[in-house]
Chain A
């Protein structure tokens, strides 16, 4: 099972929502994943525990060696299919 982290500034609203959206999209495609919302400040300590990272913060704040997907498209719908395709590729790897 692939472990996916979604991080936003405070772990309050956006990361939770994106995590639940991604989880249900993956379930619809029978992909075995665990999607968790985390807050950005704790990410540094736990980033090595995830296989894929979905980012809702600016790219310049991201400095990890983990495959990264954009989270905003899952909120606005703009570019969502494209990001989901990328995510599926990473999950199947």
Chain B
């Protein structure tokens, strides 16, 4: 696995989104424009979020991890966004609950088994309040990539 899974043009700091649909559409569009996903990704990710939401009420900064089936993905990447104001997602595993997400990891993964190590390492910080806070308060894109690469590889 090389360290090209994160890209400066797919890091968004202090991003302003009006709501979940707006956020999913915007980010899907950016992934599409940069050749990471197929045109079908946006609808697929929106639909999957309704069926199987990805908000996580972590012990620290709340997270959403929108993603969908590999069939809609061309090249694997992770889009990372810190949100200026929280965006409401439903909670994974309990869609009656809301999650006010401030940190978004949008996954575009072609081969889940092949990326298991990266995904596991990414999710290993979801239980770490200090790390989440540190990631959320990063104010420079290259710093964000450096910090995350340290975690992922």
A residues at B contact (CB < 8 Å): 8-14, 16-17, 20-21, 37, 40, 55-59, 70-72, 75-78, 80
Contact = CB atoms under 8 A, between A and B. Distances in A.
A9 B12 CA distance: 26
Indicate the size class of the contact surface on chain B.
Answer: 20 to 34
Contacts of B109: 12-13
B56 A16 contact: no
A9 B123 contact: no
Contacts of A71: 93
Contacts of A8: 52, 92
A76 B57 contact: yes
B56 A77 contact: no
A35 to B, nearest CB: 12
B126 A16 contact: no
A34 B9 CA distance: 40
Given A40-B52, A75-B56, A58 B116 contact: no
Given A12-B112, A72-B94, 16 more contacts: A9-B48, A10-B67, A12-B69, A13-B119, A14-B92, A17-B119, A17-B123, A40-B52, A59-B94, A71-B93, A72-B93, A75-B127, A76-B127, A77-B59, A77-B127, A78-B57
